[in-house]
A and B are shown apart, each in its own frame.
Chain A
């Protein structure tokens, strides 16, 4: 059978190497098969198979009434998607990148997020907004902003940020089934990266709970917490630190809103030290929220050092490769800060 016709179910007997792109594609495919109200709209999603090929094959399978190419107007098609959601459909609205969604942010926040509340529960907006968020190489300021903290602030929105293939499948399927508006912050850099994915994660009803973080690696000396693309250098740093005898617990947030504070609190009570890592800007970032939440919790008494945030530089992302590298947290930065926090040299 040609590879393109195999679904993950055909590989149910062992761990499959699945790219994040394939994981997202299979999740979209399964949810569209499961519920005919689910449809996709956005620029280049249909005939072109998606600017980043995440919607590959879906037009052929589900037809042009369920996979719709739109003219170039994020404000226009996001508004249309919200209207469709308010009237019984379940749209998946793709932004070519989340940077372009700023054109549509009025619809995301004022039309989608606040509506259930403002309409006193009479209107529901079961919509998914998705697309690549954060850094991509060599595309500078207007293509690399991380929006996790912006959308993470909004009551009425759920915000998820998958890292690996399992996250991508479970969180996307959960987002589509959720009756609330959900923002899925993907990562262009991660699309082509493959991960061994369990039989369980390949099941067509595999959903991950929104609002629950995952302990990717258990440890005892320090907790590192991150999300999405930045999980990769964080995991690398943990391995390097292990070689130096420092036992690191790595937490993958998976959800930005709701934030899984209980998991973080339990971890800090165990390790006594916390470092947050994100690509986004420092002020009002995800790390700032985590630091405040820990301070307010009973984990505060367990801290042996202040919570440290590692973030992107407080500048618009530059293009020159040397400046770009310097503007984003690197593995070496994480190792250095972790060691300083545990008091090692």
Chain B
């Protein structure tokens, strides 16, 4: 990895930290409903993002905003989703953390735990089949691509883990299963989640290549991911990568982890298992980073997030039409009727429905989106 990309990776980690800090506080202030920080897993996020190619298809669980950042989706685009403005790529429909992006081939995340695992297997199969059919039909063959899915240690207990991995193995589906084992599922520690040797060892049972990496080490994750991708494509197989880290923050803004682990323990682990400071030490030792430059990077990251939040909050809310569209490909009579009824209600009770707060038309939304440089 070039020095430039390495420094860019570090910058992405700082930006992720800034986003986490600012948005966590913003939630506490009541500005939106929910947030999940990623402290302790920065290296996993950025290394995975660095290892994938544009054509790879990505699936996540709920703690993967770092991948969006390092793959180049601007913070200014992301924040519209937490705030649910008219510029939101999710049209005001998805709860926080459930972002997706066409630009980086990342499927919109959902709250249903582990359901993304079998989806990823299906996607990988589709990628494989499309290439075979294109070759057979003498058409342009797409670049080889993998399907990559991230999930946590707790999610790996769900029945969908079994179904997905077993079928990926038997179908020879080039799926990268990347487990973010951060030691906790809300308050449930690993000892209560499974009795086996972590998630990696399950790969042996399913007959697929598997590896466990120290995810506080950016380079370890990066090399494991690159090799895993290569193996998946060359050997036409699923691969399981278990990234070991410690969840240094709370599960979410709905959790106070000091209830089940001591502040001292958290502080101790923050010293030992912080991927960001580990990469910093490496960069400093190679003369690629100096303290003054780093302080500037941190400050500019923070300002970028603060500014993006302010801007996102100033944008009107999504139009009422977004409530009814996209349930199906077209509005059916009941939905059309519902939309007309609701618009009448809104006109009749404008104060109750806070009519002034939101966009009024699709045109206005388009204008706002281009004004704010939204990346799809």
A323 at the interface (CB under 8 A from B): yes
Considering the chains assembled together, what is the distance between the CA atoms of A326 and B192 in angstroms? Answer: 42
CB contact between B318 and one of A73, A100, A320 (< 8 Å): that residue: A320
Interface centre among B32, B92, B342 (most CB of A within 10 A): B92
Q: A75-B159, A322-B317, A325-B353 are in contact. Are A315 and B84 (CB under 8 A)?
A: no
From 318 to 376 in chain B, residues with beta carbon under 8 angstroms from any chain A beta carbon are 318, 320, 322-324, 327, 334-335, 338, 342, 345-346, 349, 352-354, 357-358
Q: Which of B1-9, B124-132, B182-190, B294-302 contacts A (4 or more CB under 8 A)?
A: B182-190
B220 at the interface (CB under 8 A from A): no
Q: Judging by beta carbons under 8 Å apart, are A72 and B185 in contact?
A: yes
Shortest beta-carbon distance, B341 to chain A, in Å?
10
Question: Which residues of chain B have C-beta atoms less than 8 A from A322's C-beta?
Answer: 92, 317-318, 320, 353-354, 357-358
Considering the chains assembled together, what is the distance between the CA atoms of A100 and B345 in angstroms? Answer: 33
Q: A43-B186, A44-B188, A143-B95 are in contact. Are A138 and B159 (CB under 8 A)?
A: no
- The 8 A CB mask of A96-120 against B (1 = contact, 0 = none) is 0001101100000000000000000
Shortest beta-carbon distance, B160 to chain A, in Å?
8
Q: A71-B157, A72-B158, A326-B342 are in contact. Are A315 and B186 (CB under 8 A)?
A: no
- The 8 A CB mask of A248-279 against B (1 = contact, 0 = none) is 00000000000000000000000000000000
B222 at the interface (CB under 8 A from A): no
Q: Judging by beta carbons under 8 Å apart, are A73 and B158 in contact?
A: yes
**From DSSP, what is the main secondary structure of chain B's interface residues?**
loop
CB contact between A316 and one of B84, B93, B318, B352 (< 8 Å): that residue: B93
Q: Judging by beta carbons under 8 Å apart, are B323 and A333 in contact?
A: no
Question: Which residues of chain A have C-beta atoms less than 8 A from B342's C-beta?
Answer: 313, 326
Q: A48-B259, A320-B317, A332-B349 are in contact. Are A314 and B334 (CB under 8 A)?
A: yes
B52 at the interface (CB under 8 A from A): no
Q: A138-B33, A313-B324, A322-B357 are in contact. Are A48 and B260 (CB under 8 A)?
A: yes
* Pairs across A and B, CB under 8 Å, 17 listed: A51-B186, A71-B188, A73-B157, A75-B159, A99-B112, A100-B112, A138-B96, A139-B33, A282-B334, A313-B323, A315-B324, A319-B84, A319-B93, A321-B84, A322-B357, A323-B318, A332-B349
Chain A contacts to B: CB under 8 angstroms: 43-44, 47-48, 51, 69, 71-76, 99-100, 102-103, 137-143, 282, 313-316, 318-323, 325-327, 330, 332-333, 336
